[in-house]
């Protein structure tokens, strides 16, 4: 198949430079051949989930559990990306909306939203997911750098992009970032 010919048939005049660059980066990552688990040289287990229609992943070593979002209590005086707190088996856990933190399009909450409870580096909190796809093994050798088109908060917290594309979040950095730590002294009422 002649991809150059196909590309010339696509009308990109309605796209911004950002959108056009993003589509080209996605096309590059999709062009990488699929490798089965048995051929992986540097495997990592990841939890794949969706945020604003994009596929993201977190290393399983930082995922404690996945559960439904229930009984969310808002916390006044916290940043917009802190949705509130929940009680999970007697433990109070803050819930962060990465869509807001990464400046992605917002979407309302539903009964189908899941939370991913992260744990590590002496921290534990939950992040909201629109949908959870499941656990899979990926080869770290296939991880490419985040696209140059990304900037700001989102790019700082990305380890890279797997073919698919699946965006790998740096969970260690996420767990240690002071902006995501909810402390009672920081809450302004």
In a domain, 23, yes or no: no
Count of structural domains within the chain: 1
Tell me if 3 is assigned to some domain: no
Structure tokens at 8: 């010339």
Is residue 15 pLDDT above 50, yes or no?
Answer: yes
As a whole number of angstroms, the distance between CA 97 and CA 125 comes to 11
Residue 50 domain flag: yes
DSSP 8-state class, residue 176? H
Q: Which residue has the higher pLDDT, 181 or 130?
A: 130
Q: Which two tokens stand for residue 138?
A: 């990926």
* Domain membership flag for residue 5: no
Is 163 part of any domain? yes
Q: Across the chain, where does the E strand assignment appear?
A: 43-51, 54-59, 63-68, 82-88, 91-96, 114-120, 123-129, 131-139, 158-162, 166-169
Question: What is the reported pTM?
Answer: 0.71
Task: For residue 111, tell me if it sits in a domain.
Answer: yes
Asked if residue 20 belongs to a domain, the reply is no
- Residue range 36-58: mean pLDDT, rounded: 83
The domain of 93 spans: 32-186
| CATH number for the domain that contains residue 42 | 2.40.50.180
Q: Is residue 21 included in any domain, yes or no?
A: no
The residue ranges of DSSP E strands in 9-88, in sequence order, are 43-51, 54-59, 63-68, 82-88
pLDDT digit string, tens, across residues 66-121: 999 888 999 888 888 999 999 998 999 999 998 888 888 777 666 568 999 999 98
Tell me: the pLDDT tens digits for 123-168?
Answer: 899 999 989 999 999 999 998 887 776 655 567 788 889 998 899 9
């Amino acid at each position: 198949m002649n991809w150059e010919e196909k590309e010339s048939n696509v009308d990109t005049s309605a796209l911004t430079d950002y959108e056009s660059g993003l589509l080209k980066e996605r096309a590059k990552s999709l062009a990488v051949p699929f490798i089965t688990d048995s051929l992986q040289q540097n495997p990592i287990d990841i939890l794949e989930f969706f945020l604003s229609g994009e596929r993201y992943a977190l290393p399983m070593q930082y995922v404690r559990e996945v559960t439904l979002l229930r009984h969310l209590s808002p916390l006044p005086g916290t940043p917009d990306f802190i949705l509130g707190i929940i009680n999970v088996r007697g433990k109070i856990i803050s819930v962060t909306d990465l869509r807001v933190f990464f400046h992605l399009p917002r979407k309302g909450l539903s009964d189908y939203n899941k939370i991913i409870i992260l744990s590590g580096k002496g921290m534990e909190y939950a992040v909201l997911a629109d949908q959870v796809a499941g656990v899979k093994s990926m080869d770290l050798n296939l991880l490419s750098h985040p696209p140059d088109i990304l900037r700001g908060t989102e790019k700082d917290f990305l380890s890279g992009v797997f073919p698919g594309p699946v965006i790998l979040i740096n969970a260690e950095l996420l767990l240690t970032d002071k902006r995501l730590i909810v402390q009672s002294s920081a809450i302004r009422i």
